[in-house]
Amino acid sequence: MKPERSRRPTLSEVARRAGVSPSTVSRVVRGSTPVSPELERTVRAAIAETGYVPNLAARQLVTSRSDTVGVVIPEDQDHVFGEPFFAGLVHGVTARLATTPFHFILIVARSPDDRVWLRNYVASRHVDGVMLIAPRRGDPLGTQLTETGVPVVFMGKPFGVAGARYVDADNARGVAQAVEYLHGKGRRAIAMITGVPSMRSAIDRLAGYREGLARAGLPVDERRIAESDYTEDGGERAMAELLGRGVPIDAVVAASDTAAMGALRALRTARVRVPRDVAVVGFGDDPNSARHRPPLTTVAQPAEAMGRHLATLMVDAIEGRPGRRRVILPTRLIVRATA
């Protein structure tokens, strides 16, 4: 007599155990349509009791979905993993996708070969959607991914993609608020250390600096603007450049906390007292900003919340829900010891 094969529990058996319809179980398993928390707990308890395992391979054949989304970062790997903002963003994406059937893969696509592979990978439907982080002006990648027909959501307002879904912080308002705060503290020679010129966040933050000066009735002196790349070394070089120009400076706003920390290092080297001689404000409220010595005054952006909204827009796009097409989250000034 042949041994009896172990039989996989079916979706219908889960439904009978939970006292609901099979379609309700399917909705909970797929995460495609919201159900009440109580109903979801009942169904998941029945799944655990029966040992039911969804047949994902079969479902993918029916739905033509992979239940995978790509988080694409068109930056150098060292920059990605050295920037605290990315960690917070990914944490938010992970938390939001945990309530759905989707998981994500992280793709760093900087070289031309990486990008050719990425376009082919997306066009072949290995992922159901793409979240493109920090698109740059003049970079065709966003348009190329959109043309594959796979849903694309952007972290940062993209360039040249009409009707795009995107999430961003209110970068311009955040920097303008910092400038207004410094002006209120009696600072009149306020400088700016910018970010990467081709990145939307850097463009908006520089615009906010100009806007803040205008609101304060202060002139824009281009000699008080120095370019950086969001890194600590870049911030140090930019601050040294500003000091070397011989233009009076009594405050500086940096486009990132890491750049601000580099600026503080340059000011220490030049024996400039902070904040007595020069006040310093960063952007981001990275975990290290509060622990820095002295603790850094900064404009906080909600990285994790941005990640959660990004994932929500991604799921809505894949499921064909109308939803919002853009989310702009507010920033807030956190005053510490440097300003």
Would you state the pLDDT for residue 24?
84
Would you state the pLDDT for residue 63?
52
* Angstrom distance (rounded) from CA 250 to CA 187: 6
Three-state secondary structure along the chain? CCCCCCCCCCHHHHHHHHCCCHHHHHHHHHCCCCCCHHHHHHHHHHHHHHCCCCCHHHHHHHHCCCCEEEEEECCCHHHHHHCHHHHHHHHHHHHHHCCCCCEEEEEECCCHHHHHHHHHHHHCCCCCEEEEECCECCCCHHHHHHCCCCCEEEECCCCCCCCCEEEEECHHHHHHHHHHHHHHCCCCCEEEECCCCCEHHHHHHHHHHHHHHHHHCCCCCHHHEECCCCCHHHHHHHHHHHHHCCCCCCEEEECCHHHHHHHHHHHHHCCCCCCCCCEEEEEECCHHHHHCCCCCEEEECCHHHHHHHHHHHHHHHHHCCCCCCEEEECCEEECCCCC
- Write down the pTM of the prediction: 0.80
Cα torsion 285, 286, 288, 293: sign:
negative
Q: Summarize pLDDT for 137-157 with one digit per residue, the tens.
A: 999 999 999 999 999 999 999
**Percentage of the chain with pLDDT > 70?**
91
Phi, psi angles (nearest 5°) of residue 303: -60, -45
Split at pLDDT 50, 70, 90, the class of 160 is confident
Would you state the pLDDT for residue 228?
94
Q: Does the pLDDT of residue 324 top 90, yes or no?
A: no
Q: Summarize pLDDT for 168-211 with one digit per residue, the tens.
A: 999 999 999 999 999 999 999 999 999 999 999 999 999 999 99
Q: Tokens 């995107």 belong to which residue?
A: 166
Q: Does the pLDDT of residue 112 top 70, yes or no?
A: yes
Would you state the pLDDT for residue 204?
97
More confident residue, 336 or 11: 336
Q: Summarize pLDDT for 1-14 with one digit per residue, the tens.
A: 444 445 678 888 88
Would you state the pLDDT for residue 52?
78
Average pLDDT over residues 289-296: 94
Split at pLDDT 50, 70, 90, the class of 305 is very high
Q: Summarize pLDDT for 116-125 with one digit per residue, the tens.
A: 999 999 998 8
* Angstrom distance (rounded) from CA 224 to CA 247: 7
Would you state the pLDDT for residue 4?
43
Would you state the pLDDT for residue 50?
85
Domains for the chain: give ranges and CATH numbers: 11-55 (1.10.260.40), 68-169+303-329 (3.40.50.2300), 171-301 (3.40.50.2300)
**Percentage of the chain with pLDDT > 90?**
68
Would you state the pLDDT for residue 120?
92
Q: Summarize pLDDT for 260-292 with one digit per residue, the tens.
A: 999 999 999 999 999 999 999 999 999 889 999
Q: Summarize pLDDT for 23-66 with one digit per residue, the tens.
A: 788 777 766 566 787 888 888 888 888 887 766 545 554 456 78
More confident residue, 10 or 314: 314
Would you state the pLDDT for residue 12?
85
